[in-house]
């Protein structure tokens, strides 16, 4: 039987993952509006990945006998001052998600919920990758600065990302 506080925390994380998907989809539409299809594709793939993360939690809650409680998802930011700002927001968002996963893991450890501790290890590893990738993208955008050719090259590079 799942503890209510673990179930509530998992549902909160579930909502955060759905929000992440929505947030990245908003970034994708922003880049579509700027005719940067490579960036748009990268963020669409990222949105799909976050949706998959949410569904892992969704399925896990039911697997352990819990109840999924879907919550309202706030509308994401839709406009940015610069392309760099989009990537900076991505990095900040991933840091926030890492913090929430770590807090959820801490709760599972305190409550001696070994199954949830084990389940969350995948998310801990995933967040290391998410933060590293988003930080690399910020650094690339900073290097590019106002270079149109650099922007074109990065658009091409990011556009090659595929769903996994």
Does the residue 108 lie in any domain? yes
The per-residue pLDDT for range 101-142, each reduced to its tens digit, is 999 999 999 999 999 999 999 999 999 999 999 999 999 999
Q: CA–CA distance from 148 to each of 34, 44, 83, 140, 152 (Å)?
A: 13, 23, 12, 13, 6
Does the residue 125 lie in any domain? yes
Does the residue 164 lie in any domain? no
- Residue 121: which domain range? 4-159
Burial per residue of 106-144, b for 16 or more beta-carbon CB atoms within 10 angstroms, e otherwise: ebbeeeebeebbebbeebeebbeebbebbbebbebbeeb
Does the residue 96 lie in any domain? yes
Q: What's this model's pTM, rounded to 2 decimal places?
A: 0.94
State the CATH number of the domain containing residue 78.
Answer: 1.20.1260.10
Residue appearing with tokens 């506080």 = 5
* Alpha-carbon gap, residue 50 to 164, rounded angstroms: 12
The per-residue pLDDT for range 17-33, each reduced to its tens digit, is 999 999 999 999 999 99
The per-residue pLDDT for range 33-83, each reduced to its tens digit, is 999 999 999 999 999 999 999 999 999 999 999 999 999 999 999 999 999
What total of structural domains would you count in the chain?
A: 1
- Give the pLDDT score at 123: 98
* Residue 164 confidence class, pLDDT cut points 50, 70, 90: low
Does the residue 88 lie in any domain? yes
**Helix (H), strand (E) at residue 59:** helix 37-63
């Amino acid at each position: 039987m799942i503890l209510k506080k673990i179930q509530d925390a998992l549902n909160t994380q579930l909502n955060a993952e759905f929000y992440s998907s929505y947030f990245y989809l908003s970034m994708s539409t922003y880049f579509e509006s700027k005719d940067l299809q490579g960036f748009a594709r990268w963020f669409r793939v990222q949105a799909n990945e976050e949706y998959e993360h949410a569904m892992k939690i969704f399925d896990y809650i039911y697997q352990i006998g819990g109840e999924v409680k879907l919550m309202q998802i706030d509308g994401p930011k839709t406009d940015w001052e610069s392309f760099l700002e989009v990537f900076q927001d991505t990095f900040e968002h991933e840091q926030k998600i890492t913090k929430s996963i770590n807090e959820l893991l801490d709760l599972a450890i305190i409550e001696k919920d070994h199954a949830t501790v084990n389940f969350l290890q995948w998310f801990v590893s995933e967040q290391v990758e998410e933060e590293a990738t988003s930080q690399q993208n910020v650094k690339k955008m900073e290097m590019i600065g106002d270079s149109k050719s650099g922007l074109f090259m990065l658009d091409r590079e990011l556009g090659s990302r595929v769903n996994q």
